[in-house]
Amino acid sequence: MDKYGLIGYPLIHSFSKNYFNEKFVNEGIDAEYINFEIPTIDSLPEILASNPELKGLNVTIPYKEKVISFLDSVSPEARAIGAVNVIKIEHKGSDIILKGYNSDVIGFTQSIEPLLERFHKKALILGTGGASKAINFGLRALGLETVYVSRYERPNTIQYDNITPDTVKEYNVIVNCTPCGMYPHFNECPNLPYEALDSKNILYDLIYNPDTTMFMRKGIEHGATVKNGLEMLLLQAFAGWKFWNQSNNDTNI
């Protein structure tokens, strides 16, 4: 039986595990999807050695960037983003070959593009982690200017305390790439001047549990268009499955 899995820490809940195991049952695929909760990325070689049936892995927080040093090759897109969330595992004799990809950008751009209007020209990206880098890559590919928002003083970022009502009117697409508002902390939301939002704003939250975060609810109250991360996850899963199953000649890395 083939195995696929997810590495990250902590793995409180896993969309991927439920999605893929249901897919395998429904489509008669002889495979299993397993969560590998590892407190350090240095445990990856041990997982590979003890699970020779592994054909692919998804990567989540906090290892999307750290995992790159373990890979034999990385797709140009993932290299440009600086983060990997899909690993294809190939066995050549006794050697294990690891190829890295990024499906975050595919899922996100396909999910947000139908919401964009001509007046959506600039975006705020809340957070600076691995997911935010894919979001930045995707938004720029769609023609938007972007700025990262951080709690800390970092190069090329603005801080939450410096975001004014004029900021959210100019940067009228706002994407939450932080865990703020994720279950069980559903009464929390990023610190923004929500009262300045209007119908020209898009608030996109990568979180999907709860379905409607406080960030999204505050957007709805002021007429903004809102969307959670569930469709992005589905689209990511489609792309990840393609990466795992494409022939070696189609990998482009």
Cβ atoms of 8 and 61 within 8 Å: the answer is yes
Q: What is the pLDDT of residues 55-88, one digit of tens each?
A: 999 999 899 999 999 999 999 999 999 999 999 9
Q: Where are the beta strands (DSSP E) in 93-220?
A: 95-101, 122-126, 145-150, 157-159, 173-176, 202-205
pLDDT value for 249 = 46
Region 221-236 average pLDDT: 97
pLDDT value for 130 = 80
pTM for the predicted model, two decimal places: 0.89
DSSP H or E run through 199: none
Token reading at 227: 């969307």
Average pLDDT of the chain is 95
CA distance 149 to 1: 44
Catalytic residues: 64
Q: What is the pLDDT of residues 121-160, one digit of tens each?
A: 999 999 998 889 999 999 999 999 999 999 999 888 999 9
If we measure between CA atoms, which residue out of 128, 186, 138, 195 comes closest to residue 159?
128
CA distance 124 to 171: 6
